[in-house]
Each structure stands twice: as structure tokens, then as C-alpha cells.
Amino acid sequence: MEEPSPPLKVKVKGVYALQAGGDLVAPVVLLEDEASRLVPVFVGLSEAISIHQALSGAVSPRPTTHDLFVSTLESLDARISRVLIDDLDGGVYYARLSVSIDSVEREVDARPSDCMALALRSGAPIHIQEKVVLESSMDRKDLDDLKGIENYL
């Protein structure tokens, strides 16, 4: 039986908008692995805004849900140790959030969009399974159909 390949580290390249006729159709977060392959993850608008804020270093006057979650973990001496996007089924991505408490690591099922927003706020690494990259990566020429989400905010 073949051993699964280790997860790949990715960075969030940016938050974009897929548009049609000048209208926002769907927000998409682009992940990029070390081989420069791009993986589009479609997310909700509120999650796209949260991820964009984290990428740009914007601070809300009041804590957002993701800020609150990170602050709560910190107050409990816990931390987000990593995010793993581990599956793609029927166009739906699946992820796990790893939280470390007193040197004990726990994994929690979570939406990739929430995981990315939390990882960016906490400085935790984001990983993705190779099989997900192979199944979902996009060609760079398709970037022409994407515009920065800030054009819609």
C-alpha cells in the first residue's frame, strides 16, 4: 500500500472576485503552493472580507468573529498550530483546524474559509493535500477572469 504524500504548505495569494458582466458572481481565495500551482477556493462574501482584512492587516474597531476566536484561544493559553485542507468532494473543500493546548494537539472539522481567516490572524501555517491540488488547481491564464475583491468593498 502506497504511503500518502505529506501535505504541501501553501500561502494565501489573495482574495478575488469571479465576475460576469461587471457583477460579482463569487468570491474566491487563491492558494499557491511552492511549485506555484494555484488552487481556487470559493468562499462566502463575509469570509472573503475577513480573509482580505487579515491579509491587508486591517483592524476592525470591534473584534470580528475570527478575531474573537483567536483572542479566546490565546486567553486559554491555546494556539492554532496549523490548518489542513484535506479533501475535495463534489466541489466542496474540507479542512481541519489543529489547536494546541498544553502540548496536546486537537483537530477540529472546519470550513476552509474559517480556517484560512484564523490561520492568517494567528500566523499558523496552511497546508493542503497533494490530491486536492491535483484535482483543483487552475491555469494562470484563468486569472484574467478574476478581479481583486477590494473593487467590490
- CATH number of the domain that residue 28 is part of: 3.10.690.10
Task: Please check whether residue 50 lies inside any domain of the structure.
Answer: yes
- In a domain? residue 1: no
Give the count of domains, the chain: 1
The string of pLDDT tens digits covering residues 64-76 is 999 999 999 999 9
Domain contains 3: no
Domain that holds residue 105: 8-152
Q: Tell which phi-psi region holds residue 96, choosing left (phi > 0), alpha (psi between -120 and 50) or beta.
A: beta
- Which one is predicted more confidently, 21 or 123? 123
| Rounded CA Rg of the chain | 16
What φ, ψ does residue 152 adopt, rounded to 5°? -110, -5
Q: What is the pLDDT of residues 96-150, one digit of tens each?
A: 999 999 989 999 999 999 999 999 999 999 999 999 999 998 887 777 777 777 7
Amino acid letter at 78? Answer: A
Q: Name 83's Cβ contacts closer than 8 Å, sequence gap at least 6.
A: 95, 96, 97, 98, 112, 115, 116, 118, 119, 124, 125, 126, 127
DSSP state of 138: B
Alpha helices by DSSP H, the chain: 45-56, 65-75, 112-122, 130-136
pLDDT over 90 at 78, yes or no: yes
Does some domain include residue 95?
yes
Identify the pLDDT of residue 139.
80
What is the rounded average pLDDT for all residues in the chain?
90
Asked if residue 124 belongs to a domain, the reply is: yes
